[in-house]
Amino acid sequence: MSSTRITSLIIASMLLTACAAPDEKEERREETAIADFIEVNELASVRSIRTMNPLSSSVVSDLYVIVSTRREAFLLEYFSRCERRFDGGVEPDVRQDPRALYPKLDTFRGCRIKAIYALQPEQADEIKVLGRTVGGER
């Protein structure tokens, strides 16, 4: 390989690295802000979500999603980043019980659930705004 081509490859890889770094920082900042929100508001962890109806959902980040029943809202935390989006090509939920959703056992939109937190309506709104403010529009 010529030195010009090697130099070009090095510059290209540096540019790609520089472009990727801000997104990682934004995602970490968003996740830290949401983790802080959970801690500060002392959100109660729940053992399951029981419902016979479909759940509506709102993506907060690749690590968090808000799901709602007719009467309640919950924050789901995934074990790892869940980059599967809610439009098209979504994997089905894996549930131990078709009438409930359990952390550590089940998946939501193809991603394994680490924890479920109960939310008051105003907390759900606040987390949605926090996700848009820190991580950009979703």
Structure confidence by residue, pLDDT tens digits, 74-104: 999 999 888 765 555 556 677 888 889 999 9
Q: Give the pLDDT of residue 119.
A: 96
d(CA 90, CA 83): 10
Checking if the pLDDT of 71 tops 80, the result is: yes
Tokens read off for 135: 């991580």
Could you give the number of structural domains in the chain? Answer: 1
User: Which residue has tokens 């709104």?
Assistant: 125
Question: Among candidates 29, 60, 56, 34, which has minimal Cα distance to 132?
Answer: 60
Dihedral angle of Cα 106, 109, 114, 115, to the nearest 10 degrees: -90
What residues contact residue 95 under an 8 Å CB cut-off, 6+ apart?
A: 101, 102, 106, 107
pLDDT digits (tens, 9 = 90+) for 15-40: 555 554 445 555 566 678 899 999 99
Partners of 74 in beta bridges: 67, 118
Domain of residue 72 covers: 3-135
Q: What's the predicted TM-score (pTM) here? A: 0.73
